[in-house]
Amino acid sequence: MYKETVNPCGEIPIFHSEFLCEEVYSPEDVLCSLSSDKNIEVNMVVEGEGIHCVFDQVIPCNVGDIYIMPPHTPHAFFVPDEKLQLKIRRLSFNINDWFDGDVAAQDHPNFCYGIFNDNAVAAYAMLNDYTQKKIASLFDDIEYEISKTKNNWADAIRSYLSIMFIIIGRYINTTIKNTSSNSSKGWNIVISAIKYIRKNFSQTTLTLSSIAGALYISESHLSRLFKGLTGKSFSEYLRDIRLEHACKLLRETDMKVGEIVTACGLSDVYTFYKNFTLRYHMTPHEYRKSNSPIKNKIISKGEILMSILNDISANLQIGKAKIVAELVQQAIDEGSNPEQILNEGLLAGMSIIGEKFKNGEVFVPEVLVAARAMNKGTQVLKPYLAQSNVTPNGKACIGTIQGDLHDIGKNLVKMMMEGKGIEVIDLGTDVAPSTFVQTAIEQNCQIICCSALLTTTMWGMEEVVKEAEKAGIRDKVKIMIGGAPVNEDFCCQIGADCYTPDAASAADAAIAFCKA
């Protein structure tokens, strides 16, 4: 609700407005919501309760509280939660149009009849019932004069404003002081920077230096002013503005996370997820689910599922093992196919981390936490990938080749084979050729499965073939190989029996061997 009365005759502008404040207070977002006017503002709380923020000051406000803000002072009203309402009456005018000399000179002790002193940048008063009514009636009189513009209306308003300031001056409780001696100029610069950021945040190339250039000041000066007056660094502010816009897009559109990242000028999905989860303690998907106002819109099962799969991939990349496990369960509950969860959620995320690792964008610790998250996710999937109540179809032993510690692929192969009813003995990682062969002999395995991820160690698979020949079991056992660096040609070259590119085809091939 917003009602405004503006002087219609065009002589001396003065505005009276009455508005309902609905924005919910959130400490992280305050700075983004502050706004300032070129006029002086007199704000009076007429209904409800709320919060008034001036720079980094947070002041609870109630009916009868008055806030006077000099020109260009960033401030905003909020409600503590969405059930509460706050109604404000505001007068806004250029003080030089209405007063002369001391009363209008911002640095004079008699500025606004002495309401501001000691370099104060904001003043507020709590009025008693009697005074509150008096001030409310002055607001009414001024509003009336503005709307009617009768003879000498400007003189009448000038008198009402003087009386108002003098009365309020007696009740001033607090003034918020400038921390910097020339902070009014500083604020102007910071406000210009904020405006510039808000206009251009979607450009990935936006930097402090480009803004400093646009405002003709040095980067270090802008950086100091920004932090000093807002309490936030430029990069923190820019990140918050972008995240806030991302929230808006998540709430109000169907855009995919990747598209939102681009639209907000963010660098990549990985960083977006990391910052979003840190800031809002939930994933973008969860945020969209709980905040989307698009009521009556039918979101297809496929869309929900795709969004969960994207979340699985993104959380895996930042190593959020617990969240990954929960999301995998959620995807299953939504009726998704376990293989799709594996391929389009878990493995999709792992392959992005692999690329980043290759390009030097992430390092071993990040890969390790991602691998841990992958394992947590596959643990949840395991019972769904495995078919229950199947009688053993054969026996195999599996391990990662000597010198190689990668076990995620191997674990998947094992899981898929077990799903087909094959009993699998897991030898772990860094397995010597003799261990594969001895296990096959002792446990009577039909298949030896070797996994390798490193080009430097894949030749260990040839050793397994030779060891099996040496032990005289080569014609009794099938040797299957797999892993990123090996292929069909390599399989033939070392004399193994079968190469498969993924876990599902490995399980199919193994079952075929067992049944043959």
Q: Which among 395, 393, 392, 391 is positioned nearest to 477, based on CA atoms?
A: 395
By the rule CB under 6 A, 513 interacts with ligand B1M: no
Distance CA 99, CA 153 (A): 15
User: Cβ(407)–Cβ(483) under 8 Å?
Assistant: no
**Contacting range for ligand B1M; rule: CB under 6 A; set: 274-282, 289-297, 444-452, 463-471:** 444-452
Q: Which of residues 459-488 bind ligand B1M (CB under 6 A)?
A: 480-485
Nearer of residues 217 and 425 to ligand B1M, judged by Cβ: 425
* Cβ contact 411:378 at 8 Å: yes
- For ligand B1M, which is the closer residue by CB, 194 or 408? 408
Min dist. Cβ of residue 486 to ligand B1M (A)? 8
Place of tokens 């979003």: 276
Binding range to ligand B1M, per CB under 6 A, among 41-49, 168-176, 283-291, 407-415:
407-415
Nearest by Cα to 452 from 494, 509, 514, 392: 494
In whole angstroms, the minimum distance from the beta carbon of 467 to ligand B1M comes to: 16
Instruction: List Cα–Cα distances, 156 to 66, 105, 132, 165, in angstroms.
Output: 22, 22, 20, 14
Report if residue 309 touches ligand B1M, rule: CB under 6 A: no
- Interaction residues for ligand B1M, span 168-227 (CB under 6 A): none
The verdict on 455 binding ligand B1M (CB under 6 A) reads yes
Beta strand 40-48 with 86-93 is antiparallel
Give 288 or 478: the residue with its C-beta nearer to ligand B1M. Answer: 478
Please tell me the distance from the alpha carbon of residue 75 to that of residue 82, in angstroms, as a whole number: 20
Q: Which residue, 445 or 503, is less far from ligand B1M as judged by CB?
A: 503
Kind and range of the H or E run holding 41: strand 40-48
CA atoms within 13 A on the CB side of 207: 7
Q: Is 444 helix (H, G, I), strand (E, B) or coil?
A: coil
3-state helix, strand, coil in the chain (%, to 5): 50, 20, 30
Q: Among 169, 354, 421, 495, which residue sits at the site for ligand B1M (rule: CB under 6 A)?
A: 354
Q: Which of 83, 151, 296, 364 binds ligand B1M (CB under 6 A)?
A: 364
CB of 28 to ligand B1M, least distance (A): 34
Task: Pick between residue 142 and residue 316 the one whose CB is nearest to ligand B1M.
Answer: 316
* Residue 428 is a binding residue for ligand B1M (CB under 6 A): no
Q: Which of 142, 164, 225, 353 binds ligand B1M (CB under 6 A)?
A: 353
Does the protein bind ligand B1M through residue 371 (CB under 6 A)? yes
CB 146, CB 154: distance < 8 Å: no
Torsion of CA 111, 115, 119, 125, to 10 degrees: -150
408 is a contact residue toward ligand B1M (CB under 6 A)? yes
229 contributes a contact to ligand B1M by CB under 6 A:
no
Rounded least distance, CB 271 to ligand B1M, Å: 18
Residue 194, Cβ neighbours under 10 Å: how many?
A: 23
Site for ligand B1M contains 368 (CB under 6 A): yes
Strand-pair partners of 394: 422
Segment contacting ligand B1M (CB under 6 A): 75-83, 84-92, 225-233, 498-506?
Answer: 498-506
* Cα–Cα distance for residue pair 121/55, rounded to 1 Å: 10
CB 145 within 8 A of CB 93: no
Give the binding range for ligand B1M (CB under 6 A) out of 31-39, 139-147, 148-156, 404-412: 404-412
Residue of the chain from 172, 187, 500, 514 that contacts ligand B1M (CB under 6 A): 500
The amino acid occupying position 109 is P
Q: Does 360 bind ligand B1M (CB under 6 A)?
A: no
Cα 448 to Cα 481: distance, rounded to the nearest angstrom: 8
Question: Which of 161, 168, 350, 380 is close enough to bind ligand B1M by CB under 6 A?
Answer: 350
Residue 485: which of 444, 456, 516, 463 has the closest Cα?
456
3-class state of residue 499 by DSSP: strand
> Minimal distance in Å, beta carbon 429 to ligand B1M?
7
305: its two tokens: 């599922």
Report the residue number, 22 or 423, with the smaller CB distance to ligand B1M.
423
Distance from C-alpha of 102 to C-alpha of 99, rounded to nearest angstrom: 8
> Is 321 a residue that touches ligand B1M (CB under 6 A)?
no
Measured from the CB atom, is 40 or 327 closer to ligand B1M?
327
In the complex, the smallest distance separating the C-beta of residue 456 from ligand B1M, rounded to whole angstroms, is 6
- Contacts of ligand B1M in 12-51 (CB under 6 A): none
Structure tokens at 25: 């207070």
Is 266 a binding residue for ligand B1M by CB under 6 A? The answer is no
Residue 413 contacts ligand B1M per CB under 6 A: yes
As a whole number of angstroms, the distance between CA 92 and CA 98 comes to 11
- Least spacing, CB of residue 327 vs ligand B1M, in Å: 18
Counted residue by residue, the chain has a size of 516
What's the CA gap between 368 and 385, in Å, rounded?
Answer: 24
| DSSP letter, residue 23 | P
Of residues 154 and 371, the one with the C-beta less far from ligand B1M: 371
CB of 409 to ligand B1M, least distance (A): 2
CB of 355 to ligand B1M, least distance (A): 7
Interacting residues toward ligand B1M by CB under 6 A: 347, 350-351, 353-354, 357-358, 364, 367-368, 371, 403-410, 412-413, 449-451, 453-456, 480-485, 500, 502-503, 506
